A and B are shown apart, each in its own frame.
Chain A
Amino acid sequence: MTRFILHRILISIPTLILVSMFVFGLQKLLPGDPVLAMAGEERDPAVIELLREKYRLNDPIPMQYLYWVGGVLQGDLGTSLRTGEPVLNLIAQKLPVTIQLAIMSMIFAFLIGVPAGILSSVRKGTWVDYIANVVALSGLSIPNFWLGIMMILLVSVNLGWLPASGYESPWVDPWRSFQTMLMPAFVLGTGLAAALMRHTRSSMLGVLQSDYVRTARAKGLAERKVILKHAFRNAVLPIVTLSALLFGELLAGAVLTEQIFTIPGFGKLIVDAVFNRDYAVVQGVVLCTAAGFILMNLIADVLYVLLNPRLRTAQ
């Protein structure tokens, strides 16, 4: 097991290097000079030149890359061109926010998606199945930003139940933190729930056809036990893989959701950074995201091995 994990970590290093080169290169292809973007409508040539020098924007691009990588290896991701704050601080400040959002969205997604998937597979072809499918399809097709704004208008403006947007740290005020996160997590969670529901359903349908389920039923086991203990445990494997992949979708979805609900998280950090051509921030955030994505997939692989004994002997 340890060897397996070490091996996976080692092969993720070249991936990270490639990602860093891609991000760096692609960014430089973006039109729009970062210093001009910083200067906004007030463009003082002397200040612009000074900033170019300061952030080494006059050096050749490979040199800029090496300089940046050198910093990263020493734990220095550079400073934001816009506010002068160290990128590492910004990431440390924003990452927990997005993780909180991601966890709450995942909880929503699992609470809705998995039971709905099991139910519609067991009641295949009945009205329960149809309703679950229609809801899932809507969940997949309604854009986050639209659902978000509609929720704000309904829940905050008309009903006055939840704050319309913003964020509070759970360490400062846990109740308000929960309240502010509820709507965004729901909005982000619905899309994922739909995907989870569809996968749970098809995976369950496959398993429910298999011989051992028939045997279990023939033994006279309670239907509840057959479905939850025998069928679902085997159907869960593809769901685990999917969850790891959904993590990427979650981060992408967080970009939009955070924008709508004005949550100062990772997604908002990167969008604002791209618009301000804040290179250092974009690079840092993308690198961290890539690392996070690789880590999530590693965890999924490990879980896979733990959940499926057959894979253990195969090593």
Chain B
Amino acid sequence: MTTRKLIAALLASAAMATAAQAADLRIGLQEDPDALDTAQARTFVGRIVFESLCDKLVNIAPDQSFTPELATSWAWSDDGMKLVMQLRTDATFHDGTPFDAAAVVANIERSKTLPESRRKSELASVESVAATGTHEVTFTLSKPDATLIAQLSDRAGMMVSPTAAAEKGLELANSPVCSGPYKFVERIAQDRIVLEKFAEHYNADNYHFDRLIFLPIPDTTVRLANLRSGDLDMLERLAPSDVAGVKADSALKFESAVSQGYQGITVNVNNGPRSETPFGKDKRVRQALSLAIDREVVNQVVFEGVYAPGNQPFPPTSPWYDATNPVPARDVEKAKALLAEAGVDRISIEMQAANNPVQLQLMQVIQSMVAEAGIDISIQATEFASMLEQQTQGNYQSTQVGWSGRTDPDGNIHSFVTCGGGLNDSKFCSETVDTLLNEARTSTDPAVRKAKYDEAGKILSDELPIIYLYHQTWLWAMSNKIDGFTPYPDGMIRLAGVKKAE
């Protein structure tokens, strides 16, 4: 009798387990996220988790225009010094704290004052923020800043519960409390992050999973094997070499979106004594290198044709791309002529590249292309952290490196090429470019901004402190049971409306 009862209980629990699993979504991530506190976080992969965990003031549409999320509408003052936002009245934090103007003020102040905050530079233009109604906030700026809306559509605009933040301090990272459609359950470092549905979310009806399980699986082959064996429902950052296989597999679906970021070659033009080479000092040598590269062939050979060739900080799919300055075709003769003009016959260049098979393959293809024009690249495979350090210290001639990209164009260009820019490792410096880029960030009129970026872009395409090569494409693979997934250029996984067929 007891045995029979035990079996019955076991069967019942097994049935329950299956039922629970049916509403789980298991997502394979390429890395383990860092701290899960929107103020302290700094990794791309962490933002994927935040997308389901934390609502933001502003969201973006697939075309990168801004859409309401916690803020229902917003308006700039005429001088661009004040931003007034109206807020949702039906949002609540996971701990029951109501979402209101005071919560926004507390969040912005936390991001601006917490010593460990990584959001300070993103919110640098915000002088003060005040609750001008129960559900209205007013940002007062120290200088006009058109990039602010984009910042508020990312981590700087993600709202954590002020009650939990005050209570937990830095510990908030270990048990985050936000107001998103899913709430935090548990995290086992390097193994999994589990979220469960937040039933009181204002848009709960549109979220169809009971639990989300994020599993960091760094090896791309193993990540895909997990999807094929049914241990995952979806994965991000599929390897380009696996795209054909996934497309051919009827059990799987493939989605992609050109990213907001870029990959290129950063040249040391003015960062210490190592810039004293013809490559660093003579723009004609850099132009020659750029012209000797066939970007389309690079894309086909190294990336199976799934990425996008590029020549600007914005991808050709971006509204900020300057169509009058298209990706240059390869021209070896012109490259040779430019080298001759610069007074060099053959030139040797040292180039750092991240020590992984794909980046090194890229470098080898480029190496053989530019050799035909008379440029000999010696590739220095360097581990990523060391590479960045060398670059910051000026201990390099050139580096193959990139940037994950930002929604606002300013985030892809300003700090890399302005004279005092925090990420300007080439130490390129031009008064005209500085003026143009500084003006572009202050105007709230997109047409005015576009004109200034185009003008700065023309100078940069001539000077080439950064030789842009290609734009990564976000690649997702998922079970064909998943329906309703929309790819976004920011690489995030937005789950509103996404369903899994039984």
- Residues of A at the B interface (CB closer than 8 Å) are 31-34, 36-47, 50-51, 82-85, 90, 93, 149, 152-153, 156-157, 160, 163-167, 259-262, 264, 268-269, 272, 275-277
Q: Could you jot down 30 A-B contacts, CB within 8 Å?
A: A31-B390, A32-B389, A36-B389, A37-B388, A40-B42, A44-B121, A47-B118, A47-B120, A51-B116, A84-B35, A84-B40, A84-B170, A84-B173, A85-B189, A149-B221, A152-B222, A152-B229, A153-B225, A156-B226, A157-B225, A163-B231, A165-B225, A167-B191, A262-B215, A264-B188, A264-B190, A272-B32, A275-B383, A275-B385, A276-B385
Q: Is B432 an interface residue (CB 8 A)?
A: no
Q: B216 to chain A: which residues have CB within 8 Å?
A: 262
Interchain CA distance A32-B120 in the complex, whole Å: 24
Given A46-B120, A47-B118, A156-B229, A83–B173 Cβ distance below 8 Å?
Answer: yes
**Beyond A84-B170, A152-B222, 9 additional pairs, beta carbon < 8 A:** A41-B423, A43-B422, A44-B121, A156-B229, A165-B217, A166-B226, A262-B219, A268-B190, A275-B383
Task: Give the Cβ gap from A196 to chain B, nearest Cβ, in Å.
Answer: 28
Q: B230 to chain A: which residues have CB within 8 Å?
A: 160
Q: Nearest 9 A-B pairs (CB), nearest first? A: A32-B385, A37-B385, A264-B191, A32-B386, A31-B386, A156-B229, A264-B190, A164-B226, A157-B228
Q: B173 to chain A: which residues have CB within 8 Å?
A: 83-84
Interchain CA distance A262-B189 in the complex, whole Å: 11
- Residues of B at the A interface (CB closer than 8 Å) are 32, 34-35, 40, 42-43, 115-118, 120-121, 170, 173-174, 188-192, 215-219, 221-222, 225-226, 228-231, 383-386, 388-390, 392, 403-404, 422-423
Given A46-B120, A82-B34, A83-B173, A41–B404 Cβ distance below 8 Å?
Answer: yes
Task: Give the Cβ gap from B332 to chain A, nearest Cβ, in Å.
Answer: 33
The SS class assigned to the B binding surface is: loop
Is B121 a contact of A33 with CB atoms below 8 Å?
no
Task: Give the Cβ gap from A271 to chain B, nearest Cβ, in Å.
Answer: 10
Is B221 a contact of A165 with CB atoms below 8 Å?
no
Is A259 a contact of B218 with CB atoms below 8 Å?
yes
Is A44 a contact of B389 with CB atoms below 8 Å?
no
Q: A152 to chain B: which residues have CB within 8 Å?
A: 222, 225, 229
Most chain B Cβ neighbours within 10 Å, of A156, A262, A268: A262
Task: Give the Cβ gap from B26 to chain A, nearest Cβ, in Å.
Answer: 10
Q: A149 to chain B: which residues have CB within 8 Å?
A: 221-222, 225
Q: B404 to chain A: which residues have CB within 8 Å?
A: 41
- Which residue of chain B lies nearest to A39 when distances are taken between CB atoms in the complex? B42
Is B120 a contact of A164 with CB atoms below 8 Å?
no
Q: A50 to chain B: which residues have CB within 8 Å?
A: 115-116
Given A32-B385, A45-B422, A157-B229, A166–B190 Cβ distance below 8 Å?
Answer: no
Interchain CA distance A39-B228 in the complex, whole Å: 34
- Which residue of chain A lies nearest to B173 when distances are taken between CB atoms in the complex? A84
Query: Which of A44, A164, A272 touches B422 (beta carbons < 8 Å)?
Result: A44
Q: A85 to chain B: which residues have CB within 8 Å?
A: 174, 189
Q: B215 to chain A: which residues have CB within 8 Å?
A: 166, 262
Given A43-B422, A156-B231, A260–B385 Cβ distance below 8 Å?
Answer: no
Interchain CA distance A218-B21 in the complex, whole Å: 66
Given A47-B120, A277-B385, A163–B229 Cβ distance below 8 Å?
Answer: yes
Q: B390 to chain A: which residues have CB within 8 Å?
A: 31
Most chain A Cβ neighbours within 10 Å, of B173, B215, B228: B228
Q: A83 to chain B: which residues have CB within 8 Å?
A: 34-35, 173, 189
- Which residue of chain A lies nearest to B187 when distances are taken between CB atoms in the complex? A83
Interchain CA distance A315-B495 in the complex, whole Å: 70
Most chain A Cβ neighbours within 10 Å, of B121, B215, B222, B384: B222
Interchain CA distance A90-B218 in the complex, whole Å: 19
Task: Give the Cβ gap from B500 to chain A, nearest Cβ, in Å.
Answer: 19
Q: B118 to chain A: which residues have CB within 8 Å?
A: 42, 44, 47
Task: Give the Cβ gap from A6 to chain B, nearest Cβ, in Å.
Answer: 37
Q: B35 to chain A: which residues have CB within 8 Å?
A: 82-84
Query: Which of A164, A268, A269 touches B225 (beta carbons < 8 Å)?
Result: A164
Q: A84 to chain B: which residues have CB within 8 Å?
A: 35, 40, 170, 173-174
Task: Give the Cβ gap from B396 to chain A, nearest Cβ, in Å.
Answer: 12
Q: B34 to chain A: which residues have CB within 8 Å?
A: 82-83
- Which residue of chain A lies nearest to B390 when distances are taken between CB atoms in the complex? A31
Task: Give the Cβ gap from B80 to chain A, nearest Cβ, in Å.
Answer: 24
Q: B189 to chain A: which residues have CB within 8 Å?
A: 83, 85, 90, 93, 264
Task: Give the Cβ gap from B87 to chain A, nearest Cβ, in Å.
Answer: 28
Given A47-B118, A149-B221, A31–B228 Cβ distance below 8 Å?
Answer: no
Interchain CA distance A42-B385 in the complex, whole Å: 12
Interchain CA distance A50-B114 in the complex, whole Å: 11
Interchain CA distance A37-B218 in the complex, whole Å: 18
Task: Give the Cβ gap from B490 to chain A, nearest Cβ, in Å.
Answer: 15
Is A36 a contact of B392 with CB atoms below 8 Å?
yes
Given A33-B389, A83-B173, A166-B191, A262–B222 Cβ distance below 8 Å?
Answer: yes
Interchain CA distance A272-B383 in the complex, whole Å: 13
Task: Give the Cβ gap from A81 to chain B, nearest Cβ, in Å.
Answer: 10
Task: Give the Cβ gap from B168 to chain A, nearest Cβ, in Å.
Answer: 12
Interchain CA distance A42-B403 in the complex, whole Å: 9
Interchain CA distance A45-B423 in the complex, whole Å: 10
Q: A163 to chain B: which residues have CB within 8 Å?
A: 226, 229, 231
Task: Give the Cβ gap from A33 to chain B, nearest Cβ, in Å.
Answer: 5
Task: Give the Cβ gap from B40 to chain A, nearest Cβ, in Å.
Answer: 8
Is B386 a contact of A260 with CB atoms below 8 Å?
no
Interchain CA distance A34-B385 in the complex, whole Å: 8
Task: Give the Cβ gap from B223 to chain A, nearest Cβ, in Å.
Answer: 8
Given A160-B229, A160-B230, A165–B386 Cβ distance below 8 Å?
Answer: no
Is B231 a contact of A44 with CB atoms below 8 Å?
no
Interchain CA distance A101-B10 in the complex, whole Å: 27
Task: Give the Cβ gap from B190 to chain A, nearest Cβ, in Å.
Answer: 4
Q: A38 to chain B: which residues have CB within 8 Å?
A: 42
Q: A33 to chain B: which residues have CB within 8 Å?
A: 385, 389
Query: Which of B43, B191, B218, B386 touches A40 (beta carbons < 8 Å)?
Result: B43
Interchain CA distance A39-B118 in the complex, whole Å: 9
Task: Give the Cβ gap from A189 to chain B, nearest Cβ, in Å.
Answer: 19
Q: B231 to chain A: which residues have CB within 8 Å?
A: 156, 163-166
- Which residue of chain B lies nearest to A44 when distances are taken between CB atoms in the complex? B121
Q: A46 to chain B: which residues have CB within 8 Å?
A: 120
Q: A41 to chain B: which residues have CB within 8 Å?
A: 388, 403-404, 423
- Which residue of chain A lies nearest to B229 when distances are taken between CB atoms in the complex? A156
Is A262 a contact of B386 with CB atoms below 8 Å?
no
Interchain CA distance A85-B174 in the complex, whole Å: 8
- Which residue of chain A lies nearest to B383 when distances are taken between CB atoms in the complex? A32
Is A262 a contact of B225 with CB atoms below 8 Å?
no
Given A36-B388, A262-B216, A269–B228 Cβ distance below 8 Å?
Answer: no
Task: Give the Cβ gap from A56 to chain B, nearest Cβ, in Å.
Answer: 16
